[in-house]
C-alpha cells in the first residue's frame, strides 16, 4: 500500500511512529468526536434514512451503510459536497492497486494533487476541519509536512469509510439473521457497545494485517526468522476456539474480551472510537426509524463474503 499511500502511519516504527501518531491524534480529540457526532454523523445518517423511511422497504447497504461513512469523512475534511463523488471514486480506485496497478497509481497522483491544493489553502485560511488541524498541529516544535499530511489523508478515506461501512453492515447482518437478539437490542440500547464489539469479533471488516518479526521466534512449533513478513489473520484470531466458546456464533450475551478487529499494540486503529460512534448512530437510527425491521422474505438470503475485506453485498429489508 506504500506505493499509493506514501510513507504513512501504517509502515512507521518507533520513534517516528509515536511522533507522527501524536501529531495526527490532535485531530481526533473527544471534543472533535462530540462535534462530529452532532454536526455530521447524526444529520447524515438520518438524512439518508429519510429517503426511504416512508417506502416500507430498503436495501440497507447501498442506501445507508455504504454512503454514510464517506459523507462523514468528507465533512470532517471540509470537502465541498459537489466534489464527493469523484473523491470517493478515486479513494476506491486507490485500494484497487492489488489488481489494477495503473489505476491505483493514477488515483494516488490525483489525490496528491487534490490534497496539496487543499492544504495550501488551509494553511492560509484554517477552518477548524481535520486538514486545518493537521496543517497547524505541533509537538515539541515539530510540525507535519505536506507529504506526511497527504499520506494520512490518502489512508483515511479507504481505511475509515471502507471498514466502517463493512463493520456496520456485518453487525446489521448478525442482528437481522437472529431476530431474538435484534429484539433484545431494540428493547435495551445499553447493549449497543456489547453488540458492536461482538459484531467486530464475529465478522471483522478486515481479516488480515501485515507485520514484521523483529526477532527470531517459534510459534506453535513454526520457526519464524527475524525480518520475516507476517500476515496476521485477525479473523482467525477472533474465532480462536481456545479463547472463545462457540466462536462461530454471534451472541450478544457473550462475556466481553479483547478482540483483534482493530489490531493491537502501538498500531491499534487510530479511528476506532470514531468507527464505534458512527456505528452506534447508524444502528440506533435503523432501530428508531424503521419499526419491525426484518429481512425481506422475497429476496435472496444475504451472505457475508470476501477474503481480505468482508461484508454482505446487500441487506434487503422490509419494515412497518
Q: Quick one: angle between helices 192-202 and 163-176, nearest 10?
A: 100
Displacement of CA 136 from its chain's centroid (Å): 25
**Are 235 and 204 in contact, with CB atoms under 8 Å apart?**
yes
Alpha-carbon span 164 to 196, nearest angstrom: 11
What pLDDT does 125 receive?
92
Alpha-carbon span 21 to 6, nearest angstrom: 15
What pLDDT does 11 receive?
84
Whether the model clears a pTM of 0.85, i.e. scores above it, the answer is yes
234 within a domain of the structure (yes/no): no
* 90: containing domain: 2-204+270-318
Q: Count how many Cα atoms sit within 13 Å of the Cα of residue 94 in the half-sphere of its side chain.
A: 28
Give the long-range contacts of residues 174-180, CB within 8 A, separation 24 or more.
Answer: 174/198, 174/199, 174/202, 174/203, 174/250, 175/283, 176/293, 176/294, 176/295, 176/302, 176/315, 176/317, 177/250, 177/295, 177/302, 178/250, 179/294
What pLDDT does 119 receive?
94
If one counts every other C-beta atom within 10 angstroms of the C-beta of residue 29, the result is 11
**Are 195 and 176 in contact, with CB atoms under 8 Å apart?**
no
68 within a domain of the structure (yes/no): yes
In order along its 320 residues, the chain shows pLDDT tens digits of 778 888 888 888 889 999 889 988 888 888 989 999 999 999 999 999 999 999 999 999 999 999 999 899 989 999 887 888 888 888 888 878 878 899 999 999 999 999 999 999 999 999 889 999 999 888 888 888 999 999 999 888 777 888 999 999 999 999 999 999 999 999 999 999 999 999 999 999 999 988 899 999 999 999 999 999 999 999 999 999 999 999 999 999 998 899 999 999 888 998 999 999 999 999 999 999 999 999 999 999 999 999 989 999 999 999 99
Give the CATH number of the domain where residue 302 resides. 1.10.630.10
Our count of domains for the chain comes to 1
- Nearest one of 181, 161, 158 to 171, comparing CA atoms: 181
What pLDDT does 158 receive?
73
Alpha-carbon span 60 to 119, nearest angstrom: 35
172 within a domain of the structure (yes/no): yes
- b/e burial code for range 148-163 (CB count within 10 A of at least 16 → b): bbbbbbbbbbbbbbbb
What pLDDT does 88 receive?
81
51 within a domain of the structure (yes/no): yes
DSSP state for residue 12 in the 8-state scheme:
-
249 within a domain of the structure (yes/no): no
Residues in the chain: 320
Amino acid at each position: 500500500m506504500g506505493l499509493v499511500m506514501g510513507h504513512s502511519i501504517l509502515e512507521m516504527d518507533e520513534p517516528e511512529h509515536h511522533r507522527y501518531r501524536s501529531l495526527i491524534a490532535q485531530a481526533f480529540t473527544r471534543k472533535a468526536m462530540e462535534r462530529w457526532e452532532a454536526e455530521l454523523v447524526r444529520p447524515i445518517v438520518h438524512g439518508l434514512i429519510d429517503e426511504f423511511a416512508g417506502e416500507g422497504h430498503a436495501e440497507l447497504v447501498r442506501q445507508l451503510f455504504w454512503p454514510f461513512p464517506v459523507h462523514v469523512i468528507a465533512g470532517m475534511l471540509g470537502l465541498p459536497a459537489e466534489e464527493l463523488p469523484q473523491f470517493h471514486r478515486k479513494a476506491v480506485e486507490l485500494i484497487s492497486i492489488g489488481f489494477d496497478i495503473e489505476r491505483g497509481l493514477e488515483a494516488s497522483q490525483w489525490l496528491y494533487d487534490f490534497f496539496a491544493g487543499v492544504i495550501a489553502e488551509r494553511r492560509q485560511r484554517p477552518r477548524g476541519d481535520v486538514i486545518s488541524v493537521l496543517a497547524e498541529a505541533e509537538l515539541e516544535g515539530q510540525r507535519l509536512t505536506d507529504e506526511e499530511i497527504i499520506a494520512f489523508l490518502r489512508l483515511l478515506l479507504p481505511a475509515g469509510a471502507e471498514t466502517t461501512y463493512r463493520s456496520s453492515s456485518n453487525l446489521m447482518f448478525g442482528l437481522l439473521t437472529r431476530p431474538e437478539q435484534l429484539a433484545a437490542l431494540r428493547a435495551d440500547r445499553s447493549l449497543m457497545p456489547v453488540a458492536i464489539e461482538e459484531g467486530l469479533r464475529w465478522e471483522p471488516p478486515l481479516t488480515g494485517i501485515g507485520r514484521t518479526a523483529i526477532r527470531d521466534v517459534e510459534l506453535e512449533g513454526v520457526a519464524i526468522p527475524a525480518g520475516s513478513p507476517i500476515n496476521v489473520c485477525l479473523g482467525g484470531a477472533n474465532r480462536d476456539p481456545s479463547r472463545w466458546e462457540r466462536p462461530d456464533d454471534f451472541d450478544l450475551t457473550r462475556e466481553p474480551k479483547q478482540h483483534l478487529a482493530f489490531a493491537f499494540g502501538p498500531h491499534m486503529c487510530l479511528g476506532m472510537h470514531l468507527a464505534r460512534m458512527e456505528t452506534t448512530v447508524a444502528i440506533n437510527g435503523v432501530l428508531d426509524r424503521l419499526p419491525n425491521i426484518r429481512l425481506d422474505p422475497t429476496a435472496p438470503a444475504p451472505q457475508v463474503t470476501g477474503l481480505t475485506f468482508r461484508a454482505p453485498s446487500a441487506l434487503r429489508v422490509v419494515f412497518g
